[in-house]
Amino acid sequence: MNNPASPPAVPPPPSLPPPAHGLLWSFVCVLFVTAAVLYWSGRRVTRAEAALNIPGAPGITATWLPTPPQTNNAAGDSLPPSSIEQIVALDASGAFVPLPPPGTTPALNRRPNEQRWYRLTIDPAALPARACDPAASAPGQPPAQDGERHGVLDMVVRIYDCITLYTPAPGGGWMEQVLGSEVSPRDPRHTRRLLGFDLTVPAAEPITVYLHARDYQRLPRQFRFWPDGGDYAARERFLLTQGAAFFALWAGMMACGVFHYAMLRRRDQLHYVAFISLLGLMSWHGSAMFKFFYAWPLPWLPLEVAFGALGCVALHQLCLFVRFYVDAPGSDPAFDRVLRPMCRIPLLLLPTVAICLWPAATLIYLRCFIIILTGICGVLLWAAARRWLAGCRQSPALLLAFTPYFLALLPLMAAAGKTDGGDDEVRFLLLVCTGLHLVLLTLATACRQRMLLGQSLLLHAEHAANLERAVEARTRELREVGDRLSAMVVGRNRVLSIIGHDLRGPAGSLQSLTRMLADESAEFTSAELAEISTEIARACMLQVELLNNLLAWSGSALASTGRPEAVADVRDAVGETWRLLEWTAGTKKLTFTQDVPAGLVVRAEASHLQTILRNLLVNSIKFTPAGGRIRVAAGLVPARDPGEEARVEIRVSDTGVGIPPARLERLLDGIVESTPGTQAEKGVGIGLNLCNELVRAIGGTIRITSTSLVGTIVFLTLRKAT
């Protein structure tokens, strides 16, 4: 004997392998060690130990025009000097004064777009001994001749609007080199250095050069001179390498952020991409590397104002990223109400950036902005820690990503007031920590993506399981409905066959009796004609009953879809039904009484209620002996619960022969074989089954009690209508 086929094995739900935490922590440790090595290896270069600080360097005299005097043009107008010849004449008259040490004069301009002239005299004999061969040349410089010293005049890693260096030309006159954010890289005078000028110092005699500086916010208060151009070239390569490495890292993190957002379209990823974009834009223009490609496109807008506006918007995007990353709106609405005002603080600071249009107030504003930035980063760290304690699994990654950036902001606050050097090491530390922050922040978003993917797979598995259970339940329901429909079809077929069989009997009797009357009417006596008429009436009544039940049965399926507001008056339905059956009951001399109060209505179609009452009364007439009684009563049934719907009970009782208990048990279960009445009345056995279906369709119940030779009572319970 073959075993039944076993159901197919259900595949396990999809899941992700557990993360390699050891590998992740090892990678994070490698990142921190790499960042520390980069910082410690670059400290010596950022300190510029091989450069000479001006003023104060031996062999270099630095002077300036503190307040440029006025000169008269041909028309007699008083104008500031605008040519190198005028400046040389002023220098000969003793207008230049020694350049004060840094910190002894205001660091920022008193007015926007100030200009200043400087004179530097370099005596090669008084310079410190060179660390390299005098004949050596830095990359990009011509070979040294006759003991010349090829050095570089450094602007101390600052980019000004425009600085022009005037050096004596070999054949007389002056050579110009220009540098600045507003200088086009296509200008032939543009220097090849990042933030400095090539300067060739003769071997035997001092050289005097002039500088003309113009800037919206501040003017130079300090310079650096690199006696050996090779040292500056090494520093320049270091600065360009660190800038290229940072922007390569930024491009990779930007690509990851865009990819993550394109895949899941989450709001935290959108704010992350916006923050990375703004941070890259600020870093690009702050590194001075852009001057090799284009001049600052908005000369009417100071770089400091643009940086402040970009910083406010970037900080706003960062706050929104943290808010949605820790899922504060969905998981902790109370805490989200605390984070939302903090996210608005950078936008409230945005109008205050206009303070930078007044140079004298820029330094104070810069200090306040860095303090606010540090405070907001501290609040973000607190938010990540709080959500971690609340059970947010992705918060530790965010906490780790913000820690190095927050620690780098602390020394930046102390160096915020330094505008003339001394903070190169701090800015290098901030750059390293920013790169580390970007990598860790991207790792945090990747961890978030993995958690979301795991949650998605879990939800998918739960949905698949729920769907399978729903399909199984629906299959069972459909199977039950199919079984019921099959039973109904079998029952209907049986009813139709019974009705068809029973219709042939009355129809044949009618045909025979009417043929007898037509052929032999003169041969019948009055008594015989009366008897034949009675038989014809009985056959017609049975046929009408069969047809009515057939129509009611075929339309019983529509009862459940009847009008919801349909109501029927019980007293009217009883009276109308008995009026149709009164003649039949009169032939058996039956007494009919009703006790139905006026105005009692139920939720049902009047035709359905009349069909139910007609079948019940026909059965009572059929099985009640001559001279018996039939009674119909109705009344309200008190509700057992306060919220229960009111009901109406209709009782149809008779003094008939009763129903045997064995037959009573299966009377409402389906079609039963009809039994003859007290006067051999015939039926088809579908009346009570039809009543049961109609009662259930209109939301009621039917119950039958019967005592042999005493009578039967049928209880109908229907919904009361108002």
pLDDT of residue 136: 46
Q: What is the pLDDT of residue 504?
A: 56
Asked if pLDDT for residue 167 goes beyond 90, the answer is yes
Higher pLDDT, 562 or 586: 586
Q: What is the pLDDT of residue 586?
A: 82
**More confident: 388 or 565:** 388
Q: Span 388-405, mean pLDDT?
A: 86
Locus of tokens 């400091």: 304
DSSP for 251-287, please give it: HHHHHHHHHHHHHH--HHHHHHHHHHHHHHHHHHHHT
Is residue 247, in this structure, part of any structural domain at all?
no
Same domain for 213 and 359, yes or no, is no
Residue 327 predicted with pLDDT over 50? yes
Determine how many CB atoms are found less than 10 A away from the CB of residue 237: 13
- Average pLDDT (588-594) is 89
> How many domains are contained in the chain?
3
Q: 305 with 196, same domain?
A: no
Once rounded to an integer, what is the mean pLDDT over residues 655-684? 74
Binned at pLDDT 50, 70 and 90, residue 176 comes out as: very high
pLDDT higher than threshold 80 for residue 388:
yes
Rounded to the nearest integer, the mean pLDDT of the chain is 81
- What CA–CA distance (Å, rounded) separates 126 from 559? 117
Nearest-5° Cα angle at 139, 134 to 145: 35
- Residue 102 resides in a domain: yes
What's the CATH number where 667 sits? 3.30.565.10
- Element housing 408 (H / E): helix 395-414
Lowest mean pLDDT segment, chosen from 193-202, 318-327, 691-700? 691-700
Does residue 476 lie within any of the structural domains? no
Residue 403 has pLDDT above 70, yes or no: yes
Q: Which residue has the higher pLDDT, 196 or 531?
A: 196
Residues 217 and 358 grouped into a single domain:
no
The whole-number pLDDT of residue 197 equals: 92
Residue-level pLDDT at 545: 65
Together in a domain, 198 and 56: yes
pLDDT of res. 139: 54
Rounded mean pLDDT, 192-206: 87
What percentage of the chain reaches a pLDDT higher than 90?
17
Q: Is the predicted pLDDT of residue 166 greater than 90, yes or no?
A: yes
CATH of residue 74's domain is: 2.60.40.2380
The gap between the terminal CA atoms of the chain, to the nearest Å, is 65
Task: Identify the domain boundary among 436, 465, 494.
Answer: 465
- Domain end residue (candidates: 465, 484, 509): 465
Among 17-21, 187-191, 658-662, whose mean pLDDT is lowest?
Answer: 17-21
For residues 230 and 305, membership in a common domain is answered with: no
Domain that holds residue 353: 301-465
- In this prediction, residue 419 carries a pLDDT of 47
Query: Strand, coil or helix: what is 11?
Result: coil
**What is residue 11's predicted lDDT score, i.e. its pLDDT?**
56
Model pLDDT, residue 78 = 44
Proportion of the chain above pLDDT 70, given as a percent: 82
Task: Among 235, 258, 280, identify where a domain stops.
Answer: 235
pLDDT confidence bin for 587, thresholds 50/70/90: confident
Neighbours of 202 (CB within 10 A): 15
Please answer whether residues 342 and 318 qualify as being in contact, where contact means their C-beta atoms are separated by less than 8 angstroms: no
pTM above 0.75, yes or no: no
Confidence band for 651, pLDDT divided at 50, 70 and 90: very high
Is position 662 within any domain?
yes
Q: Has residue 512 been placed in a domain? A: no
Q: Is residue 114 part of a domain?
A: yes
425 vs 433: CA distance, rounded Å: 12
| More reliable by pLDDT, 180 or 674 | 180
Pairwise pLDDT comparison (631 vs 131), residue with the higher score: 631
Of 251 and 500, more confident: 251
pLDDT of the residue at 5: 47
Tell whether 220 and 305 lie within a shared domain.
no
- pLDDT tens sequence across 97-140: 998 887 666 667 888 888 889 999 998 888 876 544 444 444 55
With respect to residue 203, please indicate whether it lies within any of the assigned structural domains: yes
Task: Give 270-322 pLDDT, tens digit per residue.
Answer: 999 999 999 989 888 888 788 888 888 888 888 888 888 999 999 999 999 99
Q: Which of 281-285, 399-403, 454-458, 630-634 has the lowest mean pLDDT?
A: 454-458
**Does one domain contain both 231 and 306?**
no
**Statement: residue 530 has pLDDT above 50:** yes
The residues near 698 (Cβ < 8 Å, ≥ 6 apart) are 559, 560, 562, 603, 604, 605, 608, 718, 719
221 and 328 together in one domain: no
Q: Which pLDDT belongs to residue 639?
A: 75
- Position 284 in a domain: no
Q: What contacts 271, CB < 8 A, 6 or more positions away?
A: 317, 318, 320, 321, 324
How confident is the model over 5-14, as a mean pLDDT?
A: 52
Q: How confident is the model at residue 470, as a pLDDT?
A: 92
- Give the chain's radius of gyration (CA, Å): 53
At 64-83, the pLDDT tens digits run 987 755 555 444 444 556 68
